[in-house]
Amino acid sequence: MSTMTTPTPSASCFLVGPVPFKDVAGPEDDNHITPPEECGHIISTLPTIAFLGRFVHHQYQGAWVIHERLPGVLSFQRSFTPRPGDVLLASPPKCGTTWLKALSFAIMARAAYPPTAGDHPLLRLNPHECVPFIDDLFSAGQDAKLEALPSPRLMNTHMHHSLLPASVAVDPNLKVVYICREPKDMLVSMWHFGNTIHPCDFSDMFESVCEGKSPDGPIWDHVLGYWRASKASPERVLFLRYEEMLLNPVESVMKLAGFLGVPFSAVDEVAGLPADIVKLCSIDTMKGLQVNKTGASGLFYKFQHKSYFRKGATGDWVNHMTPEMAQRLDDIFEYKLRGSGLSFSS
C-alpha cells in the first residue's frame, strides 16, 4: 500500500462530484509491482482450475478469482481504507457494468459536467477510464492512483461481497451499488466478450457457468451475497437488475441518484435532467462515440473499447441456447436461490 497522503475531503468537492479517473491518473501504466512473497504462498495452497483451458483461476474464500487479480483481492482486503462519500459499484462480469459506471458518473458529477455539455468526459473517455477498476489497480500495485483521487471516489469491482474487507462491508459512510442480469443473457454476453481475446465454444462457456467454475463464480453466490447485504442494510447497498433498468431507465436514474445522496430536484425533473443522463449514457450514444469505436484498455488483458457495446438488449440467449440448455441453467439458479426471496424466473 502506498504511503501517499490521502486527500482530505472538502465540502466543495462533494458538491462537484467525482472526477474522471484518467484525468487524475494519466495514461494507463502497464508496469506491475511483483506481489509480496506472502501472496504467492497463499495462492499456491488454493484449489486451481484453467478456465477454458487457458485462464488460471484460484478458489479463494469460496470464489473463483483469476490468477492475475488474486493479489489485488488480498491487498484490498488488508489495506483499503474507505473515505466518507466513497461509492463502490459491484457486479458479476457482463451484467451492465459499463452502463452502471456511465450512469453513476453522470449522476454524481452533473454539477461540474452537465449531461448536455459538449465537453462532457463521457464524450471523450470510455466509462472504464472514468471509473477505476480496483481489482486491477490493487493487483498491479497501482492503488496509489486510487488514493490520489479527490473525494467522493467512484470505483468498481467484480469481487464477491464475501471478499470485501470489513471496512467496506460495514462502513456506514460507503455505499455499494450492485447490478446483476438474467443468467442466460449474462452467459451469452460473457461468451461474446471473452471471444474478443480468446475464442471458445459456447458449450464450453455454458458448462463452466453451470458448474460454478467461471470468472468470479459461482455467479449464484455472487448475486446472493449482495442480495442479502441489500436486505440487511438497504441504506448502504442498492441492488439493481439490468432488465428492470432497461424497462424504465429514467425512473432507475432517479432511484440511483436518491440512493447516492444526490437526488434530482423538482426543477431538475421538469427540465428533463434525468432523461438527458439516460440519453448520454445510452448504448446508442456510447456506441457511436469515436472513443468507444477505437482504442483498448486493461492492465492485464487489453479489451477493445468497442467490445463493451454490443447489443445491450435482453433475450439474446434464444439465439445461442437450446431449450434444454436454457432449462438446465434456469433449474440450477432456481435451486441455488431457493428461499432467498430472489428469482430470475419469469
Nearest to 189 by CA among 174, 206, 177, 175: 206
Buried b (16+ CB within 10 A) or exposed e, 304-317: bbebbbbebeeebb
* 158 among known catalytic residues: yes
Which amino acid is residue 86, in one-letter code? Answer: D
Q: Residue 225: which H helix or E strand, with range?
A: helix 219-232
CA atoms in the 13 A half-sphere facing the CB of 241: 13
Strand, coil or helix: 177: strand
Name residue, grid cell 479517473. 21
Cell numbers for 224, please give them.
Answer: 446472493
Distances, alpha carbon 75 to alpha carbons 107, 165, 312, in Å: 30, 10, 33
Distances, alpha carbon 134 to alpha carbons 12, 91, 141, 243, 276, in Å: 25, 13, 10, 26, 29
Cell numbers for 112, please give them.
Answer: 461540474
Nearest to 130 by CA among 107, 111, 164: 107
Which sign, positive or negative, has the C-alpha torsion 53, 58, 64, 67? negative
Phi, psi of 121 (to 5 degrees): -55, -35
Task: Evaluate whether 297 touches 28 at the Cβ level (below 8 Å).
Answer: yes
Distances, alpha carbon 192 to alpha carbons 52, 98, 280, 283, in Å: 14, 15, 25, 17
Which of 58, 128, 158, 222 is catalytic? The answer is 158
Tell me the angle at which helices 97-108 and 273-281 cross, rounded to the nearest 10 degrees: 140
Which amino acid is residue 286, in one-letter code? Answer: M
Peptide bond into 9 cis (omega under 30): no
Residues pairing with 180 in the sheet: 241
Q: Which residues are catalytic, by number?
A: 158
